[in-house]
Amino acid sequence: MGIAVLAMKASVIEMFLVLLLIGTSGSKEVTKKSKKPKFSVPQINCDVKAGKIINPEFIAKCPAGCQDPKYHVYGTDIYASYSSVCGAAVHSGVIDNSGGKILVRKVAGQSGYKGSYSNGIRSLSLPRWRESFIISEGKQKRGMTYPSTLEYSSPRSSVVAKTDETTKPYQKSEILVSTTPLPTMTIRVPATTPAEAVSTSPNPWTPLDTTTMSTSTITVRLQPAGHRIRDMARETGFWKPGLALLDAGARPNEELKMKSVEPASKGDPNCKVDLSFLIDGSWSIGKRRFRIQKQFLKDISQALDMGPAGPLLGIVQYGNDPSMEFNLKTHVDSKDLKAAIEKISQKGGLSNVGRALSFVTKNFFSNANGNRGGAPNVAIVMVDGWPTDKVEEASRLARESGINIFFITIEGAVENEKQNVIEPNFVNKAVCRQNGFYSFNVPSWFSLHKIVQPLVKRVCDTNRLACSKTCLNSADVGFVIDGSSSVGTGNFRTLLQFVANLSKEFEISDTDTRIGAVQYTYEQRLEFGFDKYGTKQDLLNAIKRVNYWSGGTSTGAAISYALEHLFGKSKTNKRKLMVLITDGRSYDDVRVPAMAAHQNGVITYSIGIAWAAQDELEVIATHPTKDHSFFVDEFDDLYKVVPKIIQNICTEFNSQPRN
């Protein structure tokens, strides 16, 4: 009996030791398994947008090839979350087109995103977006833990993207299992065991926790249209009232698809220009070079952030005669424009550039063709070799119409060919200014692509587009009107009509020519300043309302008053023109005030009627006096000098050096 008890005790002790060893081994295994795993960087596709990823900060690996323009990017430095993550990384310069690791951090939405061209990618402008992100080098910050898997918000049904696998835009959402008979579909979802994939809840729609499951195949039932999926869609930003997300009669295995509307770029407001490309369609260029020319145009359209608030582009092809391929309003985004460029066929003929410039001046920049008025007009002429007609006169008329002319000459005349050029030095005779800013000389068609960015930069530098300013849209014109007793009420109305007739010739707006008026006798009165009326009709109505004053004639004091109260508030970038109208000799001295006007850069025109003193008119007028001083015998003859005054104003403006 005692021996049996001892044997039993020994067996119990032996079993205890075995259990103890197993427990220790299991503890070690648990300890081993709980050891912190090495961080693995998740990989994402080029088309993945930041807004689809839920994680607020993460490191990811981009593949090669994300420089493609089909991966849209919105903003510069700070990007809208609708942007391609990897596209933004290339644009920012953190990685290049070969891919690499990046660190992404979500930040607040911005009130506006400015597009730009950087590292081979043209990012687009966007008025506002709900969320933003910034990109930096893909290095772990000390003390920070980054996810090895990324969570996605999307209309599809899976939660987690596996590390080192190409990610798909899956949705972080609940997988809903129905306990009522409905159409079924098979989906790959994370699951532990078949038992755990089945709901026993009395609620017909039971959330299924997928965060700790391994991958397996389960069958879930499609939900009728309306209730729970609609709520999920609202949460993820895809729901719009009136949109049926899933029909009740959906077929098994049918994929749920929802498309979010891509925000259309309105264009870069910092490059709001109206562009006309004059492309060479002559036989001398050949078919291969013509294709290179079209590719260049497509590259330009891609580099420009086109849209109604930014640059717009039309094309004129020339040969013997010019023809408009399409105008400014035909295509308002780069994608459509590139497709239209591809369809252009070569017309052949000579290289009549002068004829093409005349066509553009008369026809292209019109309201009917989409000219916006407030945007600078730019004509870019592409020439293979040299023109077969003269360009100087046509270019002058274009410049005087406010068109900024750029020339791109490709494979120009070498020394032994210059004798064949009809108009030597034709580029300098044509361009807006002769300072090199408006011309490119490209030695070969095969290096044409190198000037895409320099050309876009110059065209968008609207402050340097000097030819946008013309004699009719760039002045502050101040009328100094004699309201003395000798004029009389009837003649004063005729005098005001002269002021109106002269004002009509100018382009009136806050940014174009502005008009102001002073009436004088012994005293002076500011009728309206330069900033008072911004439209031509408002201005003409104001001129009609000016009341006749009556009194003496102090012309010298009136000039001084106008310099202080009218021209003292003139804009620095405006030409200052004073038009003084009087019918008699002044009671005070005019010499000192007139000299002050000339010294302050005010170009003065004097118009005398009837008893006006010729010597005073010449003192008041800017030199040469024959171009700035006019005299008529009768008030009724004032209208006759309007064309001559306008001609002299424009001749003087256009004779300024073009350098």
Tell whether the model's pLDDT for residue 159 goes beyond 70. Answer: no
Same domain (yes/no): 463, 482: no
Residue 154 lies in a domain: no
Residue 148 · residue 42 · CB < 8 Å: yes
Q: Which two tokens stand for residue 479?
A: 């009328």
* Nearest Cα residue to 404 out of 458, 325, 474: 458
Identify whether residues 384 and 399 lie together within a single domain: yes
In a domain, 168, yes or no: no
Helix (H) or strand (E) holding 79: strand 78-80
Q: Is residue 507 part of a domain?
A: yes
User: Can you tell me whether residue 312 is helix, strand or coil?
Assistant: strand
Predicted confidence band at 403 (pLDDT cuts at 50, 70, 90)?
very high
Peptide bond into 127 cis (omega under 30): no
**Beta carbons within 8 Å of 633's beta carbon, 6+ residues apart:** 609, 610
Query: Tokens in use for 335?
Result: 């994608």
Which structural domain, as residue segments, surrounds residue 509?
Answer: 475-655
- Report which of 558, 554, 630 is spatially closest to residue 585, judged by C-alpha positions: 554
> Is 538 found in the same domain as 436?
no
Residue 133 reports pLDDT greater than 60: yes
Residue 23 predicted with pLDDT over 80: no
pLDDT at 493 over 90: yes
* Whether 574 contacts 475, CB under 8 Å: yes
- The predicted pLDDT at position 282 comes to 94
Asked if the model's pLDDT at residue 17 lies above 90, the reply is no
Give alpha helix (H) positions in 45-176: 85-92
Q: Is the pLDDT assigned to residue 653 strictly greater than 80?
A: yes
pLDDT greater at residue 289 or residue 117: 289
For residue 187, which of 174, 201, 175 has the smallest C-alpha distance? 175
Give residue 651's pLDDT: 87
Question: 136-140, long-range: CB within 8 Å, 24+ apart, which pairs?
Answer: 136/94, 136/102, 136/103, 136/105, 137/94, 137/101, 137/102, 137/103, 138/41, 138/59, 138/60, 138/61, 138/94, 138/100, 138/101, 138/102, 138/103, 139/101, 139/103, 140/39, 140/59
β-strand partners of 568? none
What's the CA gap between 55 and 113, in Å, rounded?
22
- Candidate from 18-27, 383-392, 442-451, 615-624 with smallest mean pLDDT: 18-27
Q: What is the pLDDT of residue 553?
A: 96
**Contact predicate 304/452, CB 8 Å:** no
Mean pLDDT, the chain, as a whole number? 81
CB 310 within 8 A of CB 276: no
What's 193-248 look like in SS3? CHHHHCCCCCCCEEEECCCCCEEEEEEEECCCCCCHHHHHHHHHCCCCCCCCCCCC
CA distances from 136 to 53, 68, 91, 147, 167 (A): 17, 20, 12, 17, 21
Supply the CATH number for residue 311's domain.
Answer: 3.40.50.410
Q: Hey, what are 119's tokens?
A: 């590292």
pLDDT tens-digit profile of 234-248?
A: 333 333 333 333 333
Alpha helix stretches (DSSP H) within 44-166: 85-92
- pLDDT over 70 at 1, yes or no: no
Task: For residues 370 and 357, give the distance between their C-alpha atoms in angstroms, rounded to a whole number.
Answer: 18
Residue 287 inside a domain? The answer is yes
Q: What pLDDT does 68 receive?
A: 87
- From residue 340, alpha-carbon distances to 256, 325, 334, 335, 445 in Å are 35, 9, 10, 9, 22
pLDDT (0 to 100) of residue 412: 87
252 has pLDDT over 60:
no
What is the pLDDT confidence band of residue 217, given thresholds at 50, 70 and 90? very low
Assign 188 to helix, strand or coil: strand
What is the token pair recorded at 60? 């990811």
Which pLDDT belongs to residue 4? 53
Domain match, 456 and 373 both: yes
Average pLDDT in the 277-294 region? 95
What percent of the chain clears pLDDT 70, i.e. is strictly above it? 77
Whole-angstrom distance, CA of residue 393 vs CA of residue 354 = 8
pLDDT at residue 27 in the model: 47
The band of 113, judged by pLDDT with boundaries at 50, 70 and 90, is confident
Q: Say whether pLDDT at 44 is over 70.
A: yes
DSSP string, 597-648: HHHTTEEEEEEEETT--HHHHHHHSPSSHHHHEEEESSGGGGGGGHHHHHHH
Which residues touch 60 (CB under 8 Å, ≥6 apart)? Answer: 41, 42, 43, 44, 85, 101, 102, 104, 138, 150
Specify whether 326 is located in the same domain as 357: yes
User: For residue 479, what pLDDT is reported?
Assistant: 98
pLDDT of 233 above 50: no
Residues 479 and 405 in one domain: no
The whole-number average pLDDT for the span 8-37 is: 53
The answer to whether position 363 is within a domain reads yes
Instruction: Kindly indicate the confidence band of residue 612, based on its pLDDT and cuts at 50, 70 and 90.
Output: very high
Same domain, 402 and 374: yes
Better pLDDT: 200 or 656: 656
Least confident interval from 126-130, 340-344, 545-549, 636-640: 126-130
Return phi, psi of residue 547, to 5°: -95, 140
pLDDT at 234: 36
Dist CA 72 CA 578 (whole Å): 53
**66 and 87 fall within a common domain:** yes
Task: Tell me, yes or no, whether 295 and 344 share the same domain.
Answer: yes
Distance from CA of residue 117 to its chain's centroid? 11
Judge contact between 610 and 487, C-beta under 8 A.
no
pLDDT digit string (tens) for 63-76? 999 998 889 999 89
Do residues 316 and 441 both lie within one domain?
yes
Query: 489 vs 158, 404, 483, 484, 584, CA distance in Å?
Result: 87, 46, 9, 10, 16
pLDDT, average across residues 292-311: 93
Residues 437 and 504 in one domain: no
386 or 29, which is more confident: 386
pLDDT more than 90, % of the chain: 59
Domain termination residue (choose one: 468, 490, 509): 468
Angle of CA points 256, 261, 266, to nearest 5°: 170
| Cα–Cα distance, 386 to 639 (Å, whole number) | 46
Residue 359 domain flag: yes
Q: What's the whole-number mean pLDDT along residues 393-398?
A: 92
Mean pLDDT, residues 454-473: 90
Q: How confident is the model at residue 19 (pLDDT cuts 50, 70, 90)?
A: low
Query: What is the b/e burial string over 501-532, where b = at least 16 CB atoms within 10 angstroms of the residue's CB?
Result: bbbebbebeeebbbbbbbbbbeebbebbbbee
pLDDT tens per residue across span 162-207: 444 444 433 333 333 333 444 444 333 333 333 333 333 333 333 3
Q: Residue 376 falls within a domain, yes or no?
A: yes
3-state SS class at 377: strand
Residue 520, pLDDT > 70, answer yes
CA distance 206 to 388: 80
pLDDT band at 542 (very low <50, low <70, confident <90, very high): very high
Is the pLDDT at 531 greater than 60? The verdict is yes
Dihedral of the alpha carbons of 292, 297, 302, 307, in degrees to the nearest 10: -170
Calculate mean pLDDT across residues 528-534: 95
| Distance of alpha carbon 540 from alpha carbon 480, whole angstroms | 16
Of the candidates 468, 503, 519, which is a domain's last residue?
A: 468
Specify the 3-state DSSP secondary structure of 182.
Answer: coil
How many other CB atoms are there within 10 angstroms of residue 192's CB atom? 13
Least-confidence region, from 148-152, 538-542, 553-557, 565-569: 148-152
Which of 396-424 are b and which e, b meaning 16 or more Cβ less than 10 Å from the residue's Cβ?
Answer: bebbbebbbbbbbbbbbeeeeeeeeeebe
Domain boundary among 445, 468, 491: 468
The first and second tokens of residue 51, run together, are 């807004």
Q: What is the pLDDT of residues 565-596, one digit of tens each?
A: 999 999 887 899 999 999 999 999 999 999 99
Tell me what pLDDT residue 473 has.
87
Q: How many separate domains does the chain show?
A: 3
Closest Cα partner for 376 from 436, 304, 448, 311? Answer: 311
Please tell me the number of Cα atoms within 13 Å of 452 on its side-chain side. Answer: 24
Distance between CA 518 and CA 522 in Å, rounded?
A: 13
pLDDT at 266: 81
Residue 196's pLDDT is what? 35
- At 505, is the secondary structure helix, strand, or coil? coil
My answer on whether 371 and 462 are in the same domain is yes
The predicted pLDDT at position 265 comes to 64
For residue 403, tell me if it sits in a domain.
yes
